Amino acid sequence: MSRFALVIDDSRETADSLEQMLALLGYETRVAYGPLRAIEGFAHRFPDVILLDIHMQGVSGVEICRYLRRDPRTAHVPIVAISGDTQESLVASMRAAGANAFLPKPIDLEALESALQTIFPPDEA
């Protein structure tokens, strides 16, 4: 069974691009175009990894990350934070909230693959 990724991003362009890249890397992917739709994603299947945009309409990715870390069902799921904003304080806030990795936008396939290999070393695949 392939790994399952949940992409949470209110930018359709970014989310769809990530979905295509994840498919190339062998991931089954569900896209949530914003934080409220992410909850629906969990009804489908709990993900093996979450790609989470930091800046979304009306809610902070930092808060979503904290929420996911408090929920016993998602506390262990690796989170890759994504953002066009690369301020050190923001990246540090996401890591403090529980993100496992950070990728600056625009995200390319090589960077995504590298981040996922760090989370899931090839011998675990």
The ranges assigned to domains in the chain are 4-124
Rounded to whole angstroms, the Cα distance separating 8 from 97 reads: 16
Question: What pLDDT is recorded for position 25?
Answer: 96
Supply the pLDDT for residue 53. 95
Helix H, strand E, coil C: the string for 6-49 is: EEECCCHHHHHHHHHHHHHCCCEEEEECCHHHHHHHHHHCCCCE
Highest CATH level, class, for 4-124: alpha beta
Tokens 């949940």, located at residue = 6
- CA pair distance 117, 125, nearest whole angstrom: 9
- Per the prediction, the chain carries an average pLDDT of 90
pLDDT at 52: 96
pLDDT of residue 26: 96
- Tell me, what's the pLDDT at 125? 47
From the first residue on, what is the mean pLDDT of each consecutive set of 10 residues in the chain (125 residues)?
Answer: 90 95 96 77 80 89 92 93 93 95 96 96 66
